Structure 1
Amino acid sequence: MKLYDILIQGNIVTRDEIIHDGYVAVSGETIAAVGRGELPQAQKIYDERGSFVMPGGIDSQVHSRSQKDREGFAWSTRSAASGGITTIVDMPYDDGNMICNGEQFRAKIANAEQNARVDVALYATIAPEEGTLRIKELVEAGAAGFKFSTFGTDPKRFPRIPSYLLFECFREIGKYQLVAGVHNENDEAVNYFVDKVKKSGLTDWTAHALSRPRITETLAMAEIYELAAETGCRGHVVHCSVGRGYEMCAAYRSQNADTTVEACIHYLILNHEEHGPKLKGLGKINPPIRPKAEVEAIWKHLQKGNVTVVSTDHVSWSLDRKSDPDMLKNASGAPGLEVLYPLLLTGCKQHDVSLVKAASVIAENPARLFNLHDRKGVLEVGKDADISIFRESPYEYNPRKSGNNISDWSPYEGMTLDFKLSKSFLRGELICDDGLVLSRQGNGRFLKPVLGK
C-alpha cells in the first residue's frame, strides 16, 4: 500500500459534495487522494473528524501596501495564514508606487517572495497618460489581472480611467484572457453627492452613505459590463453592495458577456442601521455599507449562484486615519483577512447556504478568475495541498488576541463566529495550528497565471 506524507480525516468539502468522515491524502506539495472508507497509510495523520476540511481560501482583493511603512506582505499574509487564507491577490495601488510597469511589478514580486507567508498573485494597472502601452509587458511579467477605477480617489495613486481609455484597455487585455477588475463608482455622480453633503454641513456617520447612493454604483456597473460585452474582455466588478448589481451581472452573462462580480465580506455581514452608528469612521468603506435589505438581497444572490467570489478588500489603516469626527475625512476600507473565512462560514450557516457553495466563492471561483485553477481552488488530486480545517466552536472575535494582525481594531470586533480555524496547510506544509502561525516570511510564492486554459 502507498505511504502518503500526510493524511487528514474529517468532513471533506469538495466542489460537488461534503464527504462525511472522509480523508485527504498528500504527497509532497500536492493532493494525492480524496476519498472515504478504509484509510490509506501516511507518515503523519491529522484526526480532524467532526471538523470541515476546506480548500485553502483565496482572497481576491488585498491592499497590503496602501499605507507606507505599516503592514506589508509580512503582516498581511500572517493574518491570512491565521484565517485559513492560503493565497492573496494584491492590488496595485501601493502608497507612493502605483504598479503600472514591468520594473515596478518585478520589484513587487521580489518583495512578496521575500516577505510573504502564503502564496501571492498580483494585479497590475496603468498610468492614464501611458494608456495601453505597458499592458503587454505587465502580462509577460505575470499579472493575474488588471485593476482600474471609474472614480478618481487620488490622481497619482488611484486615478480615474475614463470610458474611452477603459474601452482600449479592455480590448487589449482581452487578447490575453485576463480579467479586468474595476472599482465601480461613477465619478461625476459621486462628486456631485459628496459636494451636496458637504454643503449641507452634515459630518456624522450618516454622511458617507448619503454621499454615495446606490445609483453611483449601478451607473458605473452598467459602463463596466457594457465595455466587457463590446470588447469580449472578462469584465469584473471588484465590489458590489447592492442587490441590483448582481442582477445586472447575471443579465449580461445571460447575453453571453463574460461578466463577474465580487461581494466583499463586509457587504454580507455589516449593515447601515445596526453597525453604522457603532462603527462610525471604522465602518467607512467605498462603496458604503448598505441597509439590511441589501445585505439579505446579496445573500439570496449568493445562494442562487450570482455571486462570483467573496473577498475582504483588506486594508489595515492606522487608527488615526479612521477616527476623524468628520466622517468624510476618514480613510476608506478595513482589515479582514483573519476573519474572512470564519465570517463567511458563519453567515452561510445562518442563511442555510451549503459549505460547498462557500468553498466555491472563496476558493474555486477566485482560482478560475485569476487563471490559477490549474493548481489552486479545490480539494482534488493533482492540486496544491492548500487546506484549511474549521471546527464548529463559537467564539467572540478580538483582533488583538491572536497577535497576527498589525491593526488593533476591526469592524467585526465582538462578533460571535461559529467556526474556528483548527489548522491550515500551504502546499502540504502546516502553516497555522490553532492560532499559532508557523509559516515564515518567504514561504509564500509568487503565482503567475496560466494563460489560455
Structure 2
Amino acid sequence: MHDVLLKGTVVTPSAVLENGWVAIDGTKISRLGQGTPPAVQDIRDYGESLILPGGIDAQVHSRSQKGQEDFIWTTRAAAAGGITTIADMPYDEDFLVNTAGRLKQKAAEAGEQARVDFALWGTIAPGDSLHHIGEMAAAGACGFKFSTFGTDPKRFPRIPADLLARCFDAVRETGLIAGVHNEDDEMVRARLAQVTEAGITDWRAHGLSRPPLTETLAMAQIYETAAGTGCAAHVVHCSVARGYALCASYRQQGFETTAEACIHYLVLDEEHDVARLGGRAKINPPIRPRAQVEGLWHHLAAENVTVVSTDHVSWSLTRKSDPDMLKNASGAPSLEVIYPLFLTELGRRNLSWTHAARLLAENPARLFRLTSRKGGLAAGRDADITVARREDWIYDPKASGHAFEDWSPYEGRTLDWRIAETWLRGERIFADGAILAKPGHGRFVKPEQP
C-alpha cells in the first residue's frame, strides 16, 4: 500500500493522462498510471487539475543586488510558482563564484535559507587559472557560465575568444555544460555609442543598442567553439528566431548544442510592453518585437527550444525607473509566475501541456545531469510535483506576499492557470496560497558523475 496518491490530469514529457494518478512512497515517486489506482493510505483527488513535474528553473540570480531577496525570497517565490529546484547563477554582487571555496561557501549559506532544492553554476574571471573549473566541478557545480559581453569587469566579466575556447576544453573534461551569455561585445558597444550620439534615451534605446545581429554573431562564436572543442554548449537566453535555427543546425551536425528561451521573450514584446513599462522591461538581450516573439513560438513547437527559464532577478525599483532607458539595470522577477504564464500561453496556442513537462523539468534536468533524481514524473525520481488548477485571475505581486519586490512586468496580466500545490521530495511545500516549507528545507543538488 502506497503512502500518498495524487489523482488528476497527469502530464509527462510524452503524454497527457486524463484520469491519471501518481503514487508516492516517502520522498520518491513509486508508480504512475491511468484509470483505477492502486491501494493507498492517503488519496488527494485534484479532479481535472494538471499534475506536472516540479519545475527546474535553469537561470536564477538570487544575489545580484545586496540587501535584496537572497535565497530566502527566491526560493519562496519558486515554491509559490511550482518550481522545486533553482539553478543559481555565479554573478553575486561583490562575490563572483569562481573557486571551489566560494562555491562551497555559497552552498552552505544557501542551504540555511532555501525552501526548495538548488544547484549552483560556477564561472571564472579572466585572470583565473583553469584548474578552478575542475575543482568547482568536484565541489558540485551544475555547469559553468561565461559571457561574450562585459556587463561588469568584476561581477559579470567578458571572457575573450581564446580564453573561452580554453575554458570549453576544461569544461569538456568535467562532462558538464558551458553556458554562455550571447551578445557580441564589440558590436554592442559600437551601437551603444551610436544611440547615445543620436540622443535617443526612451524605451527604444535598448533594442537599438542591441539588434538581433549582436546575438547571432555571439551564438555563431559559441557554437563554433563547441564544435572545435567537443564541449556541450548552452546559450542561456535567445530572443531571436534565427538563434534557434543556428542551434538546431549545429545539433543536426552532431554537436551538443542547446538554447534557452526565457519566459519574457515568449510573453512580452517591444512595441507594446517595453513601450509601456520602460526600464522595468529592460533585459539583456532585449525583449523583441512581436514578430520575433511569434518566431520563437514557431521554434518551440518544432522542439528547437531546449529550456524555458526566468533569468529571475529582483532589482529594486531605484534601479529600474530611470527615464534614460540605458541607465536602468537589466532583468526582472518572474519566479512566482513562470508556470502559470507558460501554461496560459500553451493553452491559448493549442499546444500540448507536454511542452511544459519537457521545457520546465525534463530538459533542465538533462542539461545539469540530474536525471536520476529530478526532471519528471517517473518511478524512482524525487516526488517533486506541481498541481495547477484552471482559474482566471489577475497577477498582482503586491497581493501574493511571496515575491521580495512588489513590482513585476506581468502585473495586471490575466492568467488562465494558478498553482494550487507544490510538492518537494514527497512533502507539500506550498498549498492554498501559503508557503509551508521553512528556510533550510531545500538541499544542494549536485550533478551525477558523467
TM-score of the two chains, using structure 1 as the length reference: 0.98
Spell out the pairing of 1:42-61 with structure 2 (5 A cutoff). Answer: 42-61=40-59
Q: Secondary structure at the match of 1:169?
A: helix
Cα deviation, residue 69, structure 1 = 1.6
Paired position in structure 1 for 2:2:
4
1:250 to 219, 242, 248: 248
**Distance in 1 between residues matched to 2:17 and 2:263, nearest whole Å:** 27
1:106 counterpart = 2:99: no
Q: Secondary structure at the match of 1:66?
A: coil
Cα deviation, residue 132, structure 1 = 1.1
Q: Secondary structure at the match of 1:159?
A: coil
Paired position in structure 2 for 1:423:
421
Cα deviation, residue 216, structure 1 = 0.5
Spell out the pairing of 1:219-298 with structure 2 (5 A cutoff). Answer: 219-298=217-296
Q: Which amino acid aligns with 1:185?
A: E
Cα deviation, residue 37, structure 1 = 2.2
2:130 to 132, 153, 167: 132
Paired position in structure 2 for 1:16:
14
Paired position in structure 2 for 1:399:
397
Indicate the larger mover: 10-19 or 440-449.
Answer: 10-19
Q: Is the 8 A contact 1:131 1:169 kept in 2?
A: no
**Distance in 1 between residues matched to 2:35 and 2:59, nearest whole Å:** 38
Deviation by residue 1:157-210 (Cα, 9 ceiling, x = unmatched): 100000000000001111121000000000000000011111111111111111
Cα deviation, residue 274, structure 1 = 0.9
1:357 to 355, 358, 376: 355
Paired position in structure 1 for 2:370:
372
2:315 to 314, 317, 329: 317
**Distance in 2 between residues matched to 1:170 and 1:178, nearest whole Å:** 10
Q: Is the 8 A contact 1:62 1:88 kept in 2?
A: yes
Q: Is the 8 A contact 1:424 1:432 kept in 2?
A: yes
Deviation by residue 1:233-290 (Cα, 9 ceiling, x = unmatched): 0000000000000000000001111100000000000001111111100000000010
Cα deviation, residue 6, structure 1 = 1.0
Q: Is the 8 A contact 1:153 1:159 kept in 2?
A: yes
Deviation by residue 1:297-344 (Cα, 9 ceiling, x = unmatched): 101101100000000000000011000011000000000000001111
Any gaps of 5 or more consecutive residues in structure 1?
none
Cα deviation, residue 44, structure 1 = 2.1
**Distance in 2 between residues matched to 1:217 and 1:16, nearest whole Å:** 32
Cα deviation, residue 39, structure 1 = 2.2
Any gaps of 5 or more consecutive residues in structure 2?
none
Q: Is the 8 A contact 1:283 1:411 kept in 2?
A: yes
Paired position in structure 2 for 1:389:
387
Aligned length: 450
**Distance in 2 between residues matched to 1:127 and 1:289, nearest whole Å:** 28
Cα deviation, residue 42, structure 1 = 2.4
Q: Secondary structure at the match of 2:399?
A: coil
Q: Which amino acid aligns with 2:232?
A: R
Distance of aligned partners of 1:400 and 1:210 in 2 relative to their CA distance in 1, 3 Å threshold: same
Q: Is the 8 A contact 1:310 1:361 kept in 2?
A: yes
**Distance in 2 between residues matched to 1:131 and 1:394, nearest whole Å:** 53
Q: Secondary structure at the match of 1:128?
A: coil
Paired position in structure 2 for 1:211:
209
Cα deviation, residue 66, structure 1 = 0.3
Cα deviation, residue 394, structure 1 = 1.1
Cα deviation, residue 401, structure 1 = 1.1
Spell out the pairing of 1:148-187 with structure 2 (5 A cutoff). Answer: 148-187=146-185
1:343 counterpart = 2:335: no
Paired position in structure 1 for 2:73:
75
1:97 counterpart = 2:105: no
Cα deviation, residue 227, structure 1 = 0.5
Q: Is the 8 A contact 1:9 1:46 kept in 2?
A: yes
Paired position in structure 2 for 1:202:
200
**Distance in 2 between residues matched to 1:379 and 1:339, nearest whole Å:** 21
Cα deviation, residue 5, structure 1 = 1.5
TM-score of the two chains, using structure 2 as the length reference: 0.99
**Distance in 2 between residues matched to 1:451 and 1:344, nearest whole Å:** 32
Q: Secondary structure at the match of 2:388?
A: strand
Paired position in structure 2 for 1:446:
444
RMSD: 0.7
- Matched-pair identity in %: 56
Q: Secondary structure at the match of 2:264?
A: helix
